[in-house]
Amino acid sequence: MKRLLYLLSVLFVCLSCHQVSSPNGSLTVRFRLTNSGEPEYRVARDGTTVIDWSRLGLQCAELNLTNEFRIGSIEKHYDIAQEWETVWGEERTIVDNHNEMIIRLKHRSGAQMNIIFRVFDDGFAFRYGLPDAGRKLTITDERSEYRFAADHEAWSIPWRTEFYEGLWTKAPLSLKDTMCSPVTIEMTDGSYALVHEAALTDYPAQNLYMQDGALRIYLTPWLDTNAQPRPDKAYITTPFPTPWRMVILARDLKQLVASRIMLNLNDPCKIDDTSWIHPMKFIGIWWGMHMKSMTWEQGPIHGATTANMERYLRFAKEHGIEAVLAEGWNKGWEDWRSFSFTEPYSDWDMNYLSRLAQTLGVQIIGHNETGGNAADYETVLDEAYAYHLEHGIHAIKTGYVSPIIRTLDGLQLNKGQSGVRHYRKVIETAAKYHICIDNHEPVMPTGLQRTWPNLMTQEGVRGQEWNAWSKDGGSPCSHVTILPFTRIMAGPVDYTPGVFAFENPVMPQTRVHSTLMNQLGLFVCIYSPLQMACDLPENYIKHPDAFRFIEQVPCDWERSMLVDGAIGDYCIFARQRRGGDDWYIGGVNGDDPRAVTIPLTMLQQGVTYKATVYRDAADADWQTNPYAYVIEQYDVTASDELSLWMASGGGLAISLTVQE
């Protein structure tokens, strides 16, 4: 009798399996309900299991939406294909081509839950939809998991890394502690996966941990009055869609960095007129504070003075730099608490500087540091943004320097639901005033820039500033060779490249682990539509021939591609200027010197280009000789290839312009 019951149960499971494949048929997602009504899915590529049967569901305080389901109906949609144009980005047009399966589940309690799968040629995604009207739920756990078929190696940072400013490390999944999303996975067959989320708008950010052989989601919790985690993760009112859970499944690194699944899972642009949104390079009154030659607060060596800002504006005009950032222009830096976003220090003449900037054709980028007081900032957003707009400022760098921010809901983690809501409010309010946002100390990006392209770039990375004061001596050479395959997979990053002076009199044991050519290569390898050249003007003047590349390189692209690379070792990217025929190539290297070969097959056939090559000299080394470089020019075509050498911590940069 038991044997008969077992066979009947197996038959039930088999009969309840449903599947959807990618447009090219390579990836297949199967779905089933177990005997206890638990939803599960499985993913195969070319018939081989990549993710074995993995559980799905939501645990709520009011009811358990992880089991006791039955299938109400199944919908499948095939050949969903569109091509859409970006406002700015790594390429002008993006193709969205996927198949979709919607499973409508009915719970024993009467509640309904939909699970929506989208399957692309290079990965898949799913989300939960709760269609009931007016039901209030408290989500305490998300049962989503990824049971990979092997114990793959993963690149990650710990989930409580402050501001995501950590060094990414590699280890088997089984040895990893709770990790921030995204997680980049090197699979045993030589292919790659990336686990992340998309369209995070009113929900806590996901984190990931291993348990019982499965990679599981840990939602960022709410905090109690003592800033300790509570069991509740999200408060929702149905109907409600969760963020997308997405996995890129790439056969190689080139396919990994080319994936646009995350952007395709976000809603189309909600800004009707985007003509005021402009990618641009900028310099700024900033690096001097980190090198202790300037201060944020007013005083003898105050950085953001009228005279100093005028000097920066005129330097930007002379060298074709579109904008200048000024940190420390406003009152409040004395205590990092009482910031005003409309009251300048007495040595800053906003009216004069805004008129000068307009006359020169150079933009001012504002700076709004909150000290982590998001609640007060939220109450003055309209006043602050109206003030900036009045002075012709269309871009603001925001900051939340505090391990726990104060939101309208009290002290909370920046990537908890309350923090996510705040960042969304900032972006939407800024859009009303035609202001773009460069968000520092953010929640990890999830592709929201497609919907709100005024969210142009974010920090959320161990950036260049760590090379000025970090007690560990600065980021290792390998750091910038890891970021394009990990953090930057989540979205643009304000890393602030472009250091030209490697001496550090304040902390001699700390320095930038790179050659000057590495700093040039970062302008192509590290993507941001707002790209800062971070060093002081006087340091750029010392190397005008190398600075020429920074003057010329754009930060908005027609096409982008990885030429070659290995995570932690090196990477070489090629990008075509948006709306033009010119190409730019950048490379950054890790610890070991290496020879590289760069085929130029991306160039237009039958056209001759002038290649200006910026490369490490034969005796260059980041520790002993970082300033040794060579600049060469010669004609090339698409049939040529360049054989170059990168030093330890070195790099390269190449501009390719069409010969008239």
Give the model's pLDDT for residue 1.
Answer: 38
Catalytic residue among 165, 428, 465, 551: 465
Task: Give the tokens for residue 558.
Answer: 């027609």
Give the model's pLDDT for residue 386.
Answer: 98
Select from 237, 264, 291 the last residue of a domain: 264
Q: Do 253 and 135 lie in a common domain?
A: yes
Q: How many domains does the chain have?
A: 2
Q: What does the pLDDT look like over 66-121, one tens digit per residue?
A: 999 999 999 999 999 999 999 999 999 999 999 999 999 999 999 999 999 999 99
Cα separation, 458 vs 352, in Å, equals: 29
Q: Do 446 and 319 lie in a common domain?
A: yes
Q: DSSP alpha helices (H): ranges in 291-396?
A: 306-318, 350-360, 374-379, 381-390
Q: Do 304 and 198 lie in a common domain?
A: no
Question: Is 465 among the catalytic positions?
Answer: yes
Q: Do 470 and 373 lie in a common domain?
A: yes
Q: Do 225 and 321 lie in a common domain?
A: no
Give the model's pLDDT for residue 350.
Answer: 98
Residue 469: inside a domain: yes
* Non-local CB neighbours of 164 within 8 Å, separated by 6+ positions: 157, 180, 444, 460, 461, 462, 487
CATH number at residue 257: 2.70.98.10
Task: Give the tokens for residue 447.
Answer: 């592709």
CA dist 564 → 272, 334, 561, 573, 611 (Å): 38, 47, 9, 7, 19
Give the model's pLDDT for residue 356.
Answer: 98
Q: Do 150 and 90 lie in a common domain?
A: yes
Residue 572: inside a domain: yes
Give the model's pLDDT for residue 16.
Answer: 59
Residue 580 has pLDDT above 50, yes or no: yes
CATH number at residue 616: 3.20.20.70
Residue 284: inside a domain: yes
Residue 269: inside a domain: no
DSSP three-state, residue 84? strand
Give the model's pLDDT for residue 92.
Answer: 98
Q: Do 361 and 239 lie in a common domain?
A: no
Residue 10 has pLDDT above 50, yes or no: no
Task: Give the tokens for residue 559.
Answer: 């096409």
Q: Do 360 and 259 lie in a common domain?
A: no
* Non-local CB neighbours of 237 within 8 Å, separated by 6+ positions: 134, 135, 136, 137
Q: Do 286 and 222 lie in a common domain?
A: no
Residue 240: inside a domain: yes
Select from 264, 295, 329 the last residue of a domain: 264
Q: Do 226 and 367 lie in a common domain?
A: no
Which H/E stretch holds residue 468? helix 466-469
Residue 7 has pLDDT above 60, yes or no: no
Residue 310: inside a domain: yes
Q: What does the pLDDT look like over 616-650, one tens digit per residue?
A: 999 999 999 999 999 999 999 999 999 999 999 99
332-336 average pLDDT score: 94
pLDDT band at 560 (very low <50, low <70, confident <90, very high): very high
- Give the range of the structural domain holding residue 31, as residue numbers without chain letter: 2-264
Which H/E stretch holds residue 392? none
Q: What are phi and psi for residue 634, nearest 5 degrees?
A: -160, 165
Buried b (16+ CB within 10 A) or exposed e, 164-191: bbbebebeebeebeebbbbbbbbbeeeb
Select from 206, 238, 264 the last residue of a domain: 264
> Residue 229 pairs with which residues in a beta bridge?
223
Q: What does the pLDDT look like over 269-327, one tens digit per residue?
A: 999 999 999 999 999 999 999 999 999 999 999 999 999 999 999 999 999 999 999 99
> Residue 146 pairs with which residues in a beta bridge?
215
Residue 6 has pLDDT above 90, yes or no: no
Which long-range contacts (C-beta less than 8 Å, at least 24 apart) are formed by 553-556? 553/281, 553/523, 553/524, 553/584, 553/653, 553/655, 554/279, 554/578, 554/584, 555/279, 555/280, 555/281, 555/523, 555/528, 555/529, 555/530, 555/531, 556/88, 556/89, 556/279, 556/529
Residue 270: inside a domain: no
Q: What does the pLDDT look like over 253-274, one tens digit per residue?
A: 999 999 999 999 999 999 999 9
* Non-local CB neighbours of 459 within 8 Å, separated by 6+ positions: 163, 165, 439, 440, 441, 442, 493, 494
Q: What does the pLDDT look like over 199-244, one tens digit per residue?
A: 999 999 999 999 999 999 999 999 999 999 999 999 999 999 999 9
C-alpha closest to that of 587 among 657, 498, 523, 537:
523
Residue 34: inside a domain: yes
C-alpha closest to that of 460 among 487, 499, 429, 480:
487
Residue 337 has pLDDT above 90, yes or no: no
603-608 average pLDDT score: 97
Residue 355 has pLDDT above 90, yes or no: yes
* Non-local CB neighbours of 5 within 8 Å, separated by 6+ positions: none
Which H/E stretch holds residue 239? none
Which residue has better confidence, 455 or 337? Answer: 455
Q: Are 254 and 561 in contact (CB under 8 A)?
A: yes
Q: Do 293 and 163 lie in a common domain?
A: no
Q: Do 449 and 565 lie in a common domain?
A: yes
pTM: 0.96
